[in-house]
């Protein structure tokens, strides 16, 4: 799976002033917090949980259309796409999978594929030899051990080649409706910036974040945080001046705080650009991604 970004520079936990403006105000161009959070007093566990849940509520308003950004029509397609997404973008996966699933629509079909043919189809996603081995192995396991069906239990999913907890939670949450936290690069980076956890290990991050939120929120929380990380709270230069949750963020100021300059850093629909899915949900406010080989791809 994709390597996790290191946490940003250590800061003492902070308590946000109750007089800070609601984060939902001015979503088009976030304002600098009216009162700069003080780092003098450590934030209590209860205060952190309240702040974390408020951030989740604000993200739900900012991204009511949050969704998995991999194109899929069934659990098998989502499983394969998620395995392919390691060390590449969802966009590149979505541009690659139409031809892949046209050639191998079922686990049985993929299990019988010639390795060199499979490798050629998934070459655009990178690390195609290792990914081909994983796809052949998981397809054969699905065929031989699960009757050609993707299992709906994490205990079974993680037995498949190339499938860890991150991939399993993606499949369970989005193909089976089983709540789960998906700790990818963006998720880990943001929850550390927000001081929800100091953990680096994905499983420890998952456990600590699960303890903050009710189970019913886990899957959508994952989507909202990842959406925010891809669109506004970037790894190298966060668009702090355009961030609607700036009043709640202990890391405010690590990125560009000037509203006009920050708006130029926004990505995907927030920046007026295509998203990552070729077939986005009907409520997605942005543009569909271009197919592989098109002039804008």
pLDDT in tens, 98-138: 999 999 999 999 999 999 999 999 999 999 999 999 999 99
**Catalytic residue selected from 71, 184, 195, 270:** 184
Provide the pLDDT for residue 297. Answer: 59
Q: Grade residue 12 by pLDDT with cuts at 50, 70 and 90.
A: very low
Single pTM value for the model: 0.85
> Catalytic site residue 264?
no
> Catalytic site residue 90?
no
Distances (CA, A) of 18 to 14, 123, 147: 12, 52, 56
pLDDT over 60 (residue 36): no
pLDDT in tens, 155-208: 999 999 999 999 999 999 999 999 999 999 999 999 999 999 999 999 999 999
**Catalytic residue selected from 131, 166, 195, 270:** 166
Q: Grade residue 43 by pLDDT with cuts at 50, 70 and 90.
A: very high
* H helices present in the chain, as ranges: 45-62, 75-84, 90-103, 107-111, 115-122, 128-145, 154-157, 165-175, 185-193, 202-210, 218-231, 259-263
Distances (CA, A) of 24 to 60, 79, 139, 150, 245: 10, 35, 45, 40, 7
Provide the pLDDT for residue 276. Answer: 97
């Amino acid at each position: 799976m994709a390597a996790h970004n290191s946490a940003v520079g250590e800061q003492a936990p902070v308590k946000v002033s109750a007089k800070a403006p609601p984060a939902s105000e001015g979503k088009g161009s976030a304002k600098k917090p009216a009162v700069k959070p003080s780092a003098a007093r450590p934030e209590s566990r209860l205060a952190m949980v309240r702040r974390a849940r408020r951030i989740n509520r604000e993200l739900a308003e900012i991204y009511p259309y949050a969704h998995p950004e991999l194109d899929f029509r069934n659990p098998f397609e989502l499983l394969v796409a998620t395995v392919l997404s390691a060390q590449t973008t969802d966009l590149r996966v979505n541009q690659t999978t139409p031809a892949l699933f046209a050639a191998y629509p079922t686990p049985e079909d993929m299990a019988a594929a010639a390795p060199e043919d499979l490798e050629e189809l998934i070459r655009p996603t990178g690390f195609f030899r290792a990914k081909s081995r994983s796809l052949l192995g998981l397809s054969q396991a699905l065929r031989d051990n699960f009757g050609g069906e993707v299992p709906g239990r994490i205990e079974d999913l993680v037995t498949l080649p190339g499938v860890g907890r991150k991939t399993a939670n993606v499949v369970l949450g989005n193909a089976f409706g089983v709540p789960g936290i998906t700790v990818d690069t963006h998720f880990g980076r943001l929850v550390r910036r927000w001081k929800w956890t100091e953990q680096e290990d994905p499983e420890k991050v998952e456990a600590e974040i699960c303890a903050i939120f009710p189970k019913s929120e886990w899957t959508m929380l994952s989507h909202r945080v990842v959406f925010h990380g891809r669109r506004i709270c970037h790894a190298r230069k966060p668009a702090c001046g355009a961030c609607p949750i700036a009043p709640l963020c202990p890391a405010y100021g690590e990125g560009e705080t000037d509203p006009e300059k920050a708006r130029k850093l926004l990505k995907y629909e927030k920046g007026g650009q295509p998203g990552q899915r070729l077939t986005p949900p009907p409520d997605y406010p942005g543009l569909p991604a271009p197919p592989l080989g098109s002039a804008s791809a």
